[in-house]
Amino acid sequence: AQSVTQPDIHITVSEGASLELRCNYSYGATPYLFWYVQSPGQGLQLLLKYFSGDTLVQGIKGFEAEFKRSQSSFNLRKPSVHWSDAAEYFCAEQTGNQFYFGTGTSLTVIP
Amino acid sequence: DAMVIQNPRYQVTQFGKPVTLSCSQTLNHNVMYWYQQKSSQAPKLLFHYYDKDFNNEADTPDNFQSRRPNTSFCFLDIRSPGLGDAAMYLCATKGTATNEKLFFGSGTQLSVL
């Protein structure tokens, strides 16, 4: 069975600093990968997705992610974090019509 | 405009008392999902429908059932809620193309007393 691992449960960064959230997947030679963001008490919003092609994908809100097959990773990055980015971030992998999520990384942004 | 709507936003039930959560969509998507999300945990896929075809996850307890009477609506029935079933329940939809994203509702927070 596939699994998605997010090694960092919680990350704190200063506003304006760069951010990288880690994600590792374990299934499929050509995985379909996603990053979602969840604000407290809300559903999940898609930040970006990777299906094939360019391994660096751009998303909304200034986020990007890089697919690295050799490392089975799909890390999310942002060059300069804003206070409004504080939220829970989930990496997910799609298999057919099923989506499986990692355990999430909680981001705190300090002034 | 909300496209995936979950009602109610908060639901309180008693231990062992059946409860139904509802989800509706205006996207005409073929695929609808139910996820359970406990505090500080990943959303866990319970089951999904592809049109009328029901697909249960192997580890979803029998206590959880679902109905999809038409394209727009999907229900989650918990036959005998236990304290461990207290969670946020998320509904999501997707079109049939492989590269389509999930659209999530805002969730129903279920409390079991």
Torsion angle, alpha carbons of A62, A66, A67, A73, to 10: -100
Contacts of B101 in chain A (CB under 8 A): 34, 46, 49
Closest CA in chain B for residue A48: B101
**Interface test mutation site (partner B, options A37, A44, A95, max chain B beta carbons within 10 A):** A44
**Measuring CA to CA, which residue among B76, B83, B66 is closest to residue B19?**
B76
Residues 6+ apart with CB under 8 A from A106: A9, A10, A11, A87, A88, A89, B40
Q: What secondary structure letter does DSSP report for A69?
A: G
What was the pLDDT predicted at A40?
82
Are B113 and B13 spatial neighbours (Cβ–Cβ below 8 Å)?
yes
pLDDT < 70 regions, chain A: 1-2, 27-29
Residue B98 has pLDDT above 80, yes or no: no
Residue A26 or residue B50, greater confidence: B50
Q: What is the pLDDT of residues B37-47, one digit of tens each?
A: 998 888 999 99
